[in-house]
C-alpha cells in the first residue's frame, strides 16, 4: 500500500513537469520553431556602445542591433531583443530564453565547448586598457602587478591576467568598472578596444587614453545552442553572414557606427568575395555542411579537411593533445620560420664580424709594441670583457637615442646586434691567434703572424676559436633585448597570441639545440676540411 502511494506521488510530480517540458520544447531555437512562432529572440547587451546601447528613447541601438534586424528580415520573422549581460548571456542561451546571441562574444575554443559559433564571424574584437589622465603607459609590461578594473565574465580576463601578470578587480557591469576607475580603485580599465575608444570620445572622459597596442585580436561570432550545430539555423545564419561579407554590408555598417578596425573586415570581404575562373565563389560548403577549410579559422579546422603540414599539425593536436599551432597555422608557421631564418642570418653575420675583426687585429698587433698597439689591445679587451647584452643597451639605447635626437638617425637593430656579438667574440678570436703565434715562436723565434701563414697558426688556435663561435651561436636570443625579429621574439609573439607557453618554450629549446648542433657540425667539417691541408710545424 505504501509503495502504491509512492508511485502515485511520482506520477503526480511527472504530470506537473509535463507542461514545463512542453514549454522547453516549444522554446527550442530551431529554425522551424522560430518561423512557426514568427519571432526570433536575440540576446543583446545594452552597455557596449557602439555595438549596442540605449538611446534617448530607451531603445536598443547599435551595430549588432542592425545585424539582428537584418537577420530577422531575411528569416521573415519579428525581432525581439532580450537584454542580457556579459555574465549571464550563455545562461540565457542554455535555458532557452534567447534563440541567438549577438552580444560581442569573442569566438574562442572554450566557448565552443558550451555553445555553437556560427561561421563566419561578423566582426573582430581586441583588448586594451583605458587610463586616467597622466597615468597612461605605452607597453604592457609596465602595468605588471598593477590593479586593473575588469568586467566579470569577459573571456579575456584570465589570459590577460596570466600573460601580463595583472591584478584584476572585477565588477558586474561596465558602469561599475567606470566608476571604480574614476574613483581611483584601479590603475586602468581592461575591456574591449572599440568600447573603450567610444568611451574616451565622450566629453566627461576627456583626457582618458589607451596608448597600449591592442591585444587578443579575436573574431566575434553569433552563438546559438550547442545542439544546433550543423542544423538549419546554423546553416541559415552562416549563409546570411557570408553574403553580408561579400556585399560589404558588414564593413559599411562598421564604418557607420564609427568602430575602429584593424582591417579584419576588409580581409574577410576579400576572402568571401573571391571567385574561381568560372565565376563561382571559392568559399562554399562541403558535403558535411562546413565551409571549406581555406575560408575558416585554422584553429577550428580538422586534419581531415586539409593536407600537408597543416594536416600533420592538426592530427598531432587531435590525437596526442599537443597543440603545435606553428605547424598547422600558416601565419604562425611563417612567423616561426622567419624567426629561424633571422637567427641563422644573425649568427652568420656575427661569425663573419668576429673572425674578420679578430684575425685582422691579431695580424696587426702580433710582434709589435708601442702606444697604438696597447690601445688596440685595450679596445679589444673591452669588447671581450663587456657582456654583449650590456653593449647592445649602451649602443642602441644610449648612443642610438643621441643620434636620433641630434640627427634623426635611428640605428638599425640587426646591425647593432650583429656587431655587438661579433665584437665580443672577436676579442676571444684575437687572443686565441696571438697565443697560438706565441706557441709557434717557442720553436721558431722569428715567426710572425701574417695572412699567408694563417692556416698554420690556426692549427693551434682552432679549439678556443671553435668554442668561442659555438658560444656565439647560443647568444642569439639576447638580441631580442633590442627587438630583433629573430627566433625568440617570434616565439614570444606566438606565446602572447596563443598562450601556449610550455609547448612553445619546449620547441624553442629544441630548436636552439638543433641550431647550435648544426653550427657545431659545420665548424667540425670546416676544421677537418681545411686544417689537414695546412703546413704543420
How far apart (Å, rounded) are the C-alpha atoms in residues 302 and 63? 32
How far is it, in rounded angstroms, from Cα 286 to Cα 309?
A: 21
Q: What is the pLDDT of residues 274-286, one digit of tens each?
A: 998 998 999 999 8
Q: Over the stretch 431-475, which tens digit does the pLDDT of each residue have?
A: 999 999 999 998 888 888 888 888 888 888 989 999 999 999 888
> Taking the chain, what is the end-to-end CA distance rounded to the nearest angstrom?
114
pTM above 0.75, yes or no: no
- CB-neighbour burial class of residue 152 (10 A; exposed 0-12, middle 13-18, buried 19+): middle
pLDDT band at 16 (very low <50, low <70, confident <90, very high): very low
* Phi, psi (deg, nearest 5) at residue 369: -140, 170
Judge whether residue 2 has pLDDT over 70.
no
> 29-297 domain in CATH 3.40.50.20?
no
Q: Tell me which residue has cell 586539409.
A: 306
Sequence-ordered strand ranges (E) for 245-382: none
Most confident range (mean pLDDT) of 351-360, 407-416, 458-467, 477-486 is: 351-360
Cβ atoms 396, 482 nearer than 8 A = yes
Closest CA to 117 of 125, 127, 105: 105
C-alpha cell at 403: 643620434
Q: Give 537's Cβ-side CA count (13 Å radius).
A: 16
C-alpha distance from residue 241 to each of 155, 237, 285 (Å): 23, 6, 13
Question: Tell me, what's the pLDDT at 483?
Answer: 52
**Helix 371-385, helix 413-441: angle, nearest 10:** 120
What is the pLDDT, as a whole number, of residue 316?
79
- Domain ranges in the chain are 29-297, 331-530
- pLDDT (mean) for 288-297: 86
Rounded to an integer, the average pLDDT of 328-347 is 79
* pLDDT of res. 213: 87
Tens-digit pLDDT profile for residues 102-154? 998 888 888 888 999 999 999 988 899 999 988 888 888 888 888 999 998 78
pLDDT of residue 534: 45
Q: What is the DSSP letter of 46?
A: S
Question: Coil, helix or strand for 528?
Answer: helix
Most confident of 22-31, 357-366, 399-408: 357-366
CA dist., res. 39 & res. 23, Å (int) = 15
Cβ contact 353:418 at 8 Å: yes
Fold of 331-530: MetI-like fold (1.10.3720)
Question: How large is the average pLDDT for residues 158-185?
Answer: 87
Round to whole Å and give the CA distance between 300 and 288: 15
Q: Give the number of other Cβ atoms within 10 Å of residue 26's Cβ.
A: 11
pLDDT band of 18, cuts 50, 70, 90: very low
478 within 8 A of 389, measured Cβ to Cβ: yes
Q: How many residues does the chain have?
A: 537
Average pLDDT over residues 81-98: 89
Best CA proximity match to 328, nearest among 352, 303, 304: 303
Supply the pLDDT for residue 501.
62
CA distance 214 to 358: 45
Give the number of other CB atoms < 10 A from CB of residue 445: 7
Amino acid at each position: 500500500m505504501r509503495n502504491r502511494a509512492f508511485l502515485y506521488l511520482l506520477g503526480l510530480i511527472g504530470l506537473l513537469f509535463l507542461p514545463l517540458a512542453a514549454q522547453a520544447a516549444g522554446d527550442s531555437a530551431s529554425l522551424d520553431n522560430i518561423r512557426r512562432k514568427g519571432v526570433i529572440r536575440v540576446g543583446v547587451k545594452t552597455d557596449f556602445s557602439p555595438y549596442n546601447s540605449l538611446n534617448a528613447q530607451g531603445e536598443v541601438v547599435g551595430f549588432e542591433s542592425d545585424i539582428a534586424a537584418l537577420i530577422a528580415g531575411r528569416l521573415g520573422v519579428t525581432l525581439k531583443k532580450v537584454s542580457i549581460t556579459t555574465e549571464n548571456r550563455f545562461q540565457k542561451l542554455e535555458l532557452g530564453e534567447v534563440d541567438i546571441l549577438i552580444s560581442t562574444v569573442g569566438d574562442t575554443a572554450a566557448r565552443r565547448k558550451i555553445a555553437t559559433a556560427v561561421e563566419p564571424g561578423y566582426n573582430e574584437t581586441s583588448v586594451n586598457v583605458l587610463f586616467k589622465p597622466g597615468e597612461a603607459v605605452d607597453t604592457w609590461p609596465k602595468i605588471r602587478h598593477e590593479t586593473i578594473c575588469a568586467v566579470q565574465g569577459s573571456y579575456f580576463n584570465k589570459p590577460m591576467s596570466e600573460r601580463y601578470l595583472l591584478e584584476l578587480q572585477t565588477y558586474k557591469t561596465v558602469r561599475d568598472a567606470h566608476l571604480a576607475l574614476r574613483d581611483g580603485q584601479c590603475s586602468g580599465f581592461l575591456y574591449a578596444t572599440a568600447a573603450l575608444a567610444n568611451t574616451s570620445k565622450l566629453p566627461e572622459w576627456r583626457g582618458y587614453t589607451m596608448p597600449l597596442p591592442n591585444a587578443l585580436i579575436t573574431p566575434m561570432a553569433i552563438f546559438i545552442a550547442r545542439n544546433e550545430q550543423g542544423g538549419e539555423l546554423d546553416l541559415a545564419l552562416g549563409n546570411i553572414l557570408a553574403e553580408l561579407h561579400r556585399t560589404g554590408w558588414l564593413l559599411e555598417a562598421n564604418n557607420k557606427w564609427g568602430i575602429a578596425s584593424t582591417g579584419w573586415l576588409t580581409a574577410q570581404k576579400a576572402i568571401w568575395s573571391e571567385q574561381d575562373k568560372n565565376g563561382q565563389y571559392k568559399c562554399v560548403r562541403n558535403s558535411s555542411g562546413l565551409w571549406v577549410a581555406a575560408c575558416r579559422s585554422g584553429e577550428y579546422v580538422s586534419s581531415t579537411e586539409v593536407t600537408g603540414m597543416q594536416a600533420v599539425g592538426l592530427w598531432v593536436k587531435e590525437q596526442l593533445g599537443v597543440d603545435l599551432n606553428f605547424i598547422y597555422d600558416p601565419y604562425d608557421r611563417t612567423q616561426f620560420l622567419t624567426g629561424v631564418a633571422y637567427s641563422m642570418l644573425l649568427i652568420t653575420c656575427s661569425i663573419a664580424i668576429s673572425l674578420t675583426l679578430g684575425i685582422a687585429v691579431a695580424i696587426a698587433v702580433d710582434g709589435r709594441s708601442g702606444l697604438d698597439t696597447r690601445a688596440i689591445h685595450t679596445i679589444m679587451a673591452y669588447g671581450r670583457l663587456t657582456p654583449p647584452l650590456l653593449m647592445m643597451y649602451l649602443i642602441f639605447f644610449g648612443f642610438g637615442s643621441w643620434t636620433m635626437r641630434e640627427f634623426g638617425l635611428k640605428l638599425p637593430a640587426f646591425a647593432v646586434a650583429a656587431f655587438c656579438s661579433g665584437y665580443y667574440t672577436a676579442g676571444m678570436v684575437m687572443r686565441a691567434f696571438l697565443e697560438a703565434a706565441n706557441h709557434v715562436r717557442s720553436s721558431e723565434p722569428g715567426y710572425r703572424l701574417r695572412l699567408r701563414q694563417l692556416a698554420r697558426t690556426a692549427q693551434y688556435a682552432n679549439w678556443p676559436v671553435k668554442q668561442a663561435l659555438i658560444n656565439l651561436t647560443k647568444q642569439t636570443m639576447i638580441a631580442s633585448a633590442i627587438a630583433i625579429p629573430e627566433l625568440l621574439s617570434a616565439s614570444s609573439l606566438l606565446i602572447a597570441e596563443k598562450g601556449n607557453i610550455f609547448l612553445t618554450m619546449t620547441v624553442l629549446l629544441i630548436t636552439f639545440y638543433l641550431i647550435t648542433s648544426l653550427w657545431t657540425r659545420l665548424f667540425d667539417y670546416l676544421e677537418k676540411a681545411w686544417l689537414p691541408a695546412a703546413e704543420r710545424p
